[in-house]
């Protein structure tokens, strides 16, 4: 449903996001990554909250996007099978803890970013991508009924173009949504150039992959 032209053309703005994601002159890269990552976290969390009452342990028994089922890995690296709402809660709780940690996301003058900061941002973006993918795959109908699909599309475009600009997501990770990315980011108003989208999600939906 989310690939139907009448829905993919819905945006809340036609701004060229390709221009918006570029690192401004004289702005520190880590500061730019921190600011945008925190903003995306809040926006994706808000977008999910609009459909959270429909995402339950009964309706979404696994954290699924297309033909892929995601597992959570706890602090000890143990693989945890959980429902979609549990997975999203794990994501949002852990990211909230990170972005409010002065040692990880410093906000005070003179504080240095940790050497592992870029890897941390990549990890956060991976989890946020999973949440966006689940909203599209499992709850686009509800999003459409709430007339919030324009907000979702706009958020997705901005997020994907930002992660592409700074190589924050592995193309193999995002291939599952390449069909949507191709339509949204390469159409008028999307601001993309088409790189990295090859329709990988449409070719392998006969079996379930676990990650």
Answer with the residue of higher pLDDT: 193 or 51.
Answer: 51
How much is the pLDDT for 190?
54
Residue with tokens 């003058």: 109
For residue 204, what pLDDT band results from cuts at 50, 70 and 90? very low
How much is the pLDDT for 149?
95
Residue 42 assigned ligand-binding role: no
How much is the pLDDT for 112?
93
How much is the pLDDT for 207?
40
The 10s digit of each residue's pLDDT in 22-31 is: 999 999 999 9
CA atoms within 13 A on the CB side of 68: 21
Q: What radius of gyration do the chain's Cα atoms show?
A: 17
Residue 66 assigned ligand-binding role: no
Q: Is the pLDDT of residue 155 over 80?
A: yes
Indicate the DSSP class of residue 137.
Answer: H
Q: What is the pTM of this model?
A: 0.87
Q: Rounded CA gap, 162 and 160, in Å?
A: 5
């Amino acid at each position: 449903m989310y690939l139907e032209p009448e829905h993919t053309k819905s945006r809340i703005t036609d701004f060229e996001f390709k221009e918006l994601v570029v690192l401004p002159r004289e702005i520190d890269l880590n500061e730019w990554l921190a600011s945008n990552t925190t903003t995306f976290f809040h926006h994706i969390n808000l977008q999910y909250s609009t459909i959270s009452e429909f995402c339950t342990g009964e309706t979404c028994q696994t954290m699924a996007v297309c033909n892929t089922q995601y597992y959570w890995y706890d602090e000890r690296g143990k693989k945890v099978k959980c429902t979609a709402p549990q997975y999203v809660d794990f994501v949002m709780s852990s990211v909230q803890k990170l972005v409010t940690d002065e040692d990880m996301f410093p906000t005070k003058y003179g504080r240095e970013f940790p050497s592992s900061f870029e890897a941390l941002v990549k990890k956060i973006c991976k989890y946020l991508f999973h949440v966006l993918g689940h909203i599209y795959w499992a709850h686009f109908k509800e999003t459409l009924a709430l007339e919030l699909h324009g907000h979702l599309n706009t958020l997705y475009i901005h997020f994907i173009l930002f992660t592409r600009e700074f190589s924050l997501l592995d193309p193999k990770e995002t291939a599952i949504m390449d069909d949507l990315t191709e339509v949204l980011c390469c159409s008028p108003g999307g601001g993309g150039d088409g790189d990295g989208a090859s329709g990988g999600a449409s070719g392998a939906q006969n079996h379930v992959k676990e990650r």
